[in-house]
């Protein structure tokens, strides 16, 4: 019995020993936390807990341990570990930004910033990074006051060399997840710019940040962004649909010809023309073609695939019989010749491809307003090195001003006004009274660009609208105290439109400009005239240039102008 009792006692002891969990190093370290905080045992325990938490990726626990060590003042290396823990947790906050949780990211960053300011006052790099992240998150949340406060601290903590500003601009790009974020930052930076005192150091940083903002990453415009496995042609707004015989000749140089056409139009007008899709369509006639904007046919034609086009003025008396036509760009008459032979060997001739390209150019120039949308405004500003960035920020302080500018550009482009002088347009935007509409801003731009208006080009035949006709036109003006608009019954409008067209009739190859006295009436006269011959424009009296190239005070000054005619003088 005694032996059995002994065996039972040994078994119970073994069971208790096996059921008891082994103590870990963390258990021992936590026990050591109870030691006095001034003791070496407590310091060693905290350092061990911090290191083990960091190694395991538990950076919040590591942060708490390093904060305790740093607060003791007895562990000089604590600030190194604390900065590392804050950096790792900062990466977690950055991930929240990438996932779209901007509010949570800012709150997390502000907690880290509070700890860093209390325990790492000498670590400018850590503080600058946290302040910058808090500023950019505040911009995204439209909290301009907080953004300015944190950006000011960022500038104070950062060096002013180019490297730090480059890093700051690169960091800001992380907070741009969509075009809406981009515009929120643009508007926020411009608002901060207005709040800063002239000459303040913050202005330099704000200018750098504004200049470095880019939509390219959001739209993945770089060639390296494209996945070669899934790359395919995109649908551009402008397309040329052709029959199988249209490009029989000249197709090898078509790409270069299209590039030259786009560059020529942009150089003349200031409007960037997108790429042109060429679509071969067997469902249309072999000599047919159509020009499409946003998938809608806006112009079309037929040509003689095996012929050449010859202008009447070039052929002279040697012009053979053929299919009559007009040059689509100049409007001058000509003829399609099947077999020009030796009689026209030295006469300028246009192949079918060249004829189609001239029609395309004429259509693009008439439809320039289609390429001046809100998204195109920033591109229009950026495509010139002469654009004053400070003027752009002042003239375009917010999204509503950019919307207004896009509509002004469309109105000007539709009348063929060259928009190459971007600063003149911005100055007009800046100088017009607040609340001015499209017509008022466009009129101010036209005055600044007076010398470049189509109606002031050398050789233009000017026709003054007779006073009785202008009075009938002015009867349709409304909106003395609000937005200006024009309205008359349809039969009266049609009659007035025809009278205006009759005034502008003349030589098809000479530009014509109708002149009205009232500047408020001018844009509506142009609308009544459109779609007019390609060389008809409308000027107001104040837009006229005299013989010396300066502004003409009244239409009576036309009598001595080199381009004046008896018709003008009598008007």
Q: Which range has the top average pLDDT, 205-209, 285-289, 305-309, 486-490?
A: 486-490
Same domain flag for 362 and 393: no
pLDDT tens sequence across 488-497: 999 999 999 8
Q: Which strands, in side-by-side order, build the sheet including 276-280? A: 276-280, 238-242, 288-293, 296-302
531 inside domain: yes
Same domain flag for 313 and 389: no
Same domain flag for 389 and 528: no
CA-based nearest residue to 120, from 163, 85, 155 = 85
Decide which of 448, 479, 507 is a domain's last residue.
Answer: 448
- CATH number for 516: 3.40.50.12790
316 band by pLDDT with thresholds 50, 70 and 90: low
- What is the C-alpha separation between 353 and 333, in angstroms, rounded? 18
pLDDT tens sequence across 436-489: 888 899 999 999 999 999 888 888 888 999 999 999 999 999 887 777 889 999
- What is the C-alpha separation between 174 and 172, in angstroms, rounded? 5
pLDDT tens sequence across 85-104: 888 888 888 888 888 888 88
* Mean residue pLDDT across the chain: 77
460 inside domain: yes
As a whole number, mean pLDDT of residues 213-229 equals: 61
Residue 253 phi, psi dihedral angles, 5° rounding: -100, 10
Same domain flag for 80 and 208: yes
Report the 10 Å Cβ neighbour count for 1: 5
Same domain flag for 346 and 403: no
Q: How many domains does the chain have?
A: 4
pLDDT tens sequence across 379-388: 888 877 788 8
CA-based nearest residue to 381, from 431, 433, 332, 422 = 422
**Confidence at residue 563, expressed as pLDDT on a 0 to 100 scale:** 39
3 inside domain: no
Same domain flag for 466 and 431: no
- CATH number for 313: 3.40.30.60
Has residue 564 got a pLDDT over 50? no
**Confidence at residue 567, expressed as pLDDT on a 0 to 100 scale:** 42
Tell the residue number behind the tokens 């000479």, with chain if given.
Answer: 510
- What is the C-alpha separation between 35 and 43, in angstroms, rounded? 9
Same domain flag for 301 and 441: no
Same domain flag for 169 and 291: no
- What is the C-alpha separation between 552 and 197, in angstroms, rounded? 43
16 inside domain: no
CA distances from 150 to 88, 126, 134, 145, 371 (A): 21, 13, 6, 9, 39
Q: What is the residue range of 112's domain? A: 27-218
CA distances from 205 to 158, 195, 340 (A): 10, 14, 67
Same domain flag for 250 and 206: no
- What is the C-alpha separation between 42 and 428, in angstroms, rounded? 71
124-140 and 78-98 helices cross at what angle (nearest 10)? 20
232 inside domain: no
9 inside domain: no
- CATH number for 406: 1.10.8
Q: Which range has the top average pLDDT, 397-401, 446-450, 562-566?
A: 446-450
**Confidence at residue 467, expressed as pLDDT on a 0 to 100 scale:** 93
pLDDT tens sequence across 108-167: 999 988 888 888 888 888 888 888 888 888 888 888 888 888 877 877 766 544 446 667
Decide which of 369, 384, 408 is a domain's last residue.
Answer: 369
Residue 391 phi, psi dihedral angles, 5° rounding: -60, -40
Same domain flag for 75 and 212: yes
Q: What is the 3-state secondary structure (H, E, C) of 351-382?
A: CHHHHHHHHHHHHHHHCHHHHCCHHHHHHHHH
- What is the C-alpha separation between 165 and 171, in angstroms, rounded? 10
Report the 10 Å Cβ neighbour count for 331: 15
CA-based nearest residue to 133, from 162, 159, 170 = 170
Strand partners, 515: 464, 539
Same domain flag for 322 and 253: yes
528 inside domain: yes
Return the higher-pLDDT residue of 215 and 280: 280
569 band by pLDDT with thresholds 50, 70 and 90: very low
- What is the C-alpha separation between 497 and 503, in angstroms, rounded? 10
18 inside domain: no
- Which helix (DSSP H) or strand (DSSP E) does residue 217 occupy? helix 216-219
Decide which of 382, 414, 448 is a domain's last residue.
Answer: 448
- CATH number for 40: 1.25.40
**Confidence at residue 535, expressed as pLDDT on a 0 to 100 scale:** 57
Work out the end-to-end distance of the chain between its first and last CA atoms, rounded to an integer number of angstroms: 141
551 band by pLDDT with thresholds 50, 70 and 90: low
Same domain flag for 420 and 523: no
């Amino acid at each position: 019995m005694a032996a059995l009792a002994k065996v039972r006692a040994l078994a119970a002891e073994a069971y208790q020993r096996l059921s008891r969990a082994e103590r870990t190093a963390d258990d021992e370290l936590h026990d050591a936390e109870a030691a006095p905080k001034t003791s070496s045992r407590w310091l060693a325990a905290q350092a061990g807990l911090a290191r083990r938490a960091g190694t395991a990726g538990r950076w919040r626990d590591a942060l708490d341990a390093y904060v305790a060590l740093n607060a003791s003042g007895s562990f000089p290396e604590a600030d190194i570990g604390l900065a590392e823990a804050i950096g790792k947790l900062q990466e977690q906050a950055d991930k929240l930004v990438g996932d779209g949780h901007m509010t949570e990211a800012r709150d997390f960053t502000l907690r880290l910033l509070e700890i860093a300011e209390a325990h790492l006052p000498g670590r400018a790099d850590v503080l600058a990074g946290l302040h910058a992240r808090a500023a950019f998150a505040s911009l995204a949340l439209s909290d301009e006051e907080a953004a300015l406060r944190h950006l000011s601290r960022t500038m104070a903590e950062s060096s002013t060399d180019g490297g730090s500003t480059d890093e700051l601009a690169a960091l800001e790009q992380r907070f741009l997840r969509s075009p809406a974020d981009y515009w929120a930052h643009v508007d926020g930076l411009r608002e901060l710019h207005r709040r800063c005192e002239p000459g303040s150091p913050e202005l330099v940083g704000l200018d750098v940040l504004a200049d470095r903002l880019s939509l390219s990453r959001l739209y993945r415009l770089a060639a390296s962004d494209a996945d070669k496995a899934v790359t395919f042609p995109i649908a551009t707004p402008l397309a040329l649909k052709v029959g199988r015989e249209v490009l029989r000749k000249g197709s090898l140089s078509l790409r270069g010809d299209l590039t030259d056409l786009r560059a020529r139009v942009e150089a003349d007008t200031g409007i960037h023309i997108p790429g042109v899709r060429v679509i071969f369509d067997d469902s249309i006639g072999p000599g047919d073609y159509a020009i499409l904007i946003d998938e809608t046919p806006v112009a079309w034609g037929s040509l003689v695939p095996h012929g050449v086009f010859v202008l009447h003025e070039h052929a002279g008396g040697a012009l053979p019989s053929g299919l009559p036509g007009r040059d689509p760009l100049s409007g001058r008459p000509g003829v399609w010749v099947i077999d020009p032979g030796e009689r026209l060997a030295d006469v300028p001739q246009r192949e079918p491809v060249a004829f189609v390209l001239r029609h395309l150019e004429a259509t693009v120039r008439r439809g320039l307003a289609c390429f001046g949308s809100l998204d195109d405004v920033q591109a229009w500003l950026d495509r010139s090195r002469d654009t004053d960035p400070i003027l752009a920020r002042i003239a375009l302080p917010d999204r509503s001003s950019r919307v207004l500018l896009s509509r002004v550009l469309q109105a000007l482009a539709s009348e063929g006004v060259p928009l190459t002088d971007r600063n003149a347009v911005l100055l007009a935007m800046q100088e017009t009274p607040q609340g001015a509409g499209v017509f008022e801003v466009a009129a101010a731009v036209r005055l600044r660009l007076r010398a470049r208006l189509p109606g002031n080009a050398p050789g233009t035949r000017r026709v003054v609208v007779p006073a009785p006709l202008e009075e009938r036109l002015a009867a349709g003006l409304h909106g003395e105290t609000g937005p200006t608009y024009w309205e008359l019954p349809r039969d009266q409008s049609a009659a007035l439109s025809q009278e205006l067209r009759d005034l502008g009739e003349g030589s098809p190859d000479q530009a014509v400009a109708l002149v009205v006295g009232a500047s408020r009436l001018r844009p509506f006269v142009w609308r009544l005239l459109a779609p007019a011959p390609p060389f008809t424009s409308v000027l107001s009296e104040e837009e006229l240039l005299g013989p010396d190239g300066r502004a003409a005070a009244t239409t009576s000054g036309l009598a001595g102008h080199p381009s004046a005619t008896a018709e003008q003088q009598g008007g």
